[in-house]
Amino acid sequence: MDYQNVLVSDRGAVRTLTINRPDKLNALNRATLLELAHAFAAAREAESVRVIVLAGAGEKAFVAGADISELAQLSPIQAQAFSRLGQTLFRDIERLAKPVIARIQGFALGGGMELAMACHLRIASEKAKVGQPEINLGVIPGFGGTQRLARLAGRGLALELCLLGAPIDAARALAAGVLTRVVAPDQLDTEVAAVADQLAASAPLALAGILDAVYVGDECPLEQALEFETQTFALCCSTDDMREGTQAFLERRKPSFKGR
């Protein structure tokens, strides 16, 4: 695919996808969502890719929301399709078997916050601000914001952000569980790279198992979730990576995982 709005770069086993619309604060229009869907599918299929970093170009915003100029023209039927396009993409990101890190240097608002919440880890600058301001446009979040925010931070904060429409700073978002880590602005890239490299060196099948167990388990009754964990643990114990990991531990050396 000839990307117009997404940049793709690889550093070892880490692939970075950068939404490249800085003049629009990386706002999400339909074309950008389709490009992201293709880029994530390609990363999923690439055996050389073990970790994905999702970023926004420029200094001001990760993603400042949906593209309002496009949103304002949607009919109800088109709005329904747009919402489903975003929800399908974000669900695919959430259920990807490879860790996805959101690098948040500035604003993550509306669709940008929803996109970040679909990622597995969210590492942000102290300057970051997150929020769901759709109420100010006369609509509600349409890419899963009312659901993931309540699951991450509880009903109280979800209602506050969605009803009042005002963003919160990185410190409060971290305390609420919306963000994973918050660092000084000049340490953001170093921190993201360090976490990505640690994940890239980990056992890929075990990483996939953890992601699967956490997300599947969160949607099941506890007894079913525990059984799913047991079966996933057993599958991991059938892999070459498990043999390599345990042997490396006993031999006091670093393991070399192959994803087999």
Separation of CA 18 from chain center: 13
Residue 92, classed as helix, strand or coil, is helix
Exposed e or buried b per residue across 138-173, where buried means at least 16 C-beta atoms within 10 angstroms of its C-beta: eeebbbbbbebbeebbeeebbebbbeebebbebeeb
User: What values do phi and psi take at 6, rounded to 5?
Assistant: -130, 130
Examine the residue annotation and report whether 35 is marked as an active-site residue of this protein: no
Residues whose CB is less than 8 angstroms from the CB of residue 126 and which lie 6 or more positions away in sequence, other chains included = 170, 171, 182, 183, 184, 185
Examine the residue annotation and report whether 134 is marked as an active-site residue of this protein: yes
Please give the structure tokens belonging to residue 67: 């593209």
Which of 35, 59, 70, 134 is labelled catalytic? Answer: 134
| Nearest-angstrom CA–CA distance, 30 and 143 | 13
Which of 114, 126, 223, 229 is labelled catalytic? Answer: 114
Please give the structure tokens belonging to residue 196: 């990505």
User: What values do phi and psi take at 34, rounded to 5?
Assistant: -65, -40
Q: Which positions are annotated as active-site residues?
A: 114, 134
